[in-house]
Amino acid sequence: MSVGHTAAHPDAIVYREGVFVGYRGYRERATRPLFPFGFGLSYTTFRYSNLQITAAPPAAGARAALYVASFDLTNTGSRAGADVAQLYLRPAPAKLKRPQRELKGFQRVELAPGETRHVSLPLAARSFAYYDVTTQGWLAEPGKYGIEVARSVEDVQLRGELVLPLPITVPVAD
């Protein structure tokens, strides 16, 4: 974290890292921690498959899903176990610098040996947006977004993409 004071306000604390904190900062600076964000151990193994990215049914409100990322998660081992499926977004090119990968959802899934479960994780308009200081609101710019399903920020299992055709503004209150 970068902290400093300003000459005009010597008692003010200014934080300069912006959105590049934690796993986002590690990826930005190419730092490889011993255990990446979202890392977990298990006594069994898992397979991710069949990624589908679909438009969500129409619903009202900024928190309503626009898209749904769904996939199958299978326990391929001989013991029962749980895995935390994580959904990351790779943003489209934007006016400002954004993290290479942002966590947008996750779900812990418990499975018996050989069991498969279909997992669905929603993506609302806010999932694509960043705070735009010019408009003083949340803005999702149109373009191609990468969708990644992972076991940790460094262990991507499935990749897909979607195109946001138009810009979306999200009220600050949402």
CB half-sphere exposure, 90, CA atoms < 13 A: 15
Could you tell me if 169 and 131 are in contact, meaning their C-beta atoms sit under 8 angstroms apart?
Answer: no
pTM: 0.84
Tell me the pLDDT band of 1, cut-offs 50, 70 and 90.
very low
pLDDT at 27 over 50: yes
| Domain at 43-163, CATH class | mainly beta
pLDDT at 63 over 90: no
Please give the backbone phi and psi of residue 87, each rounded to the nearest 5 degrees, phi first.
-110, 120
Tell me the pLDDT band of 134, cut-offs 50, 70 and 90.
confident
Q: Domain spans of the chain? A: 43-163
DSSP string, the chain: --EE--SS-TT--EE--TT--THHHHHHTT---SS-TT----SS-EEEEEEEEEEPPP-SSTTSEEEEEEEEEEE-SSS-EEEEEEEEEEPPP-SS---S-EEEEEEEEEE-TT-EEEEEEEEEHHHH-EEETTTTEEEE--EEEEEEEESSTT-EEEEEEEEE-S-EEE-TT-
Could you tell me if 121 and 68 are in contact, meaning their C-beta atoms sit under 8 angstroms apart?
Answer: yes
Determine the pLDDT at residue 60.
66
Pairwise CA distance, residues 169 & 157, whole Å: 31
Structure tokens at 174: 């949402």
> What would the pLDDT profile of 68-93 be if each residue is shown by its tens digit?
999 999 999 999 999 999 999 999 88
CB half-sphere exposure, 115, CA atoms < 13 A: 14
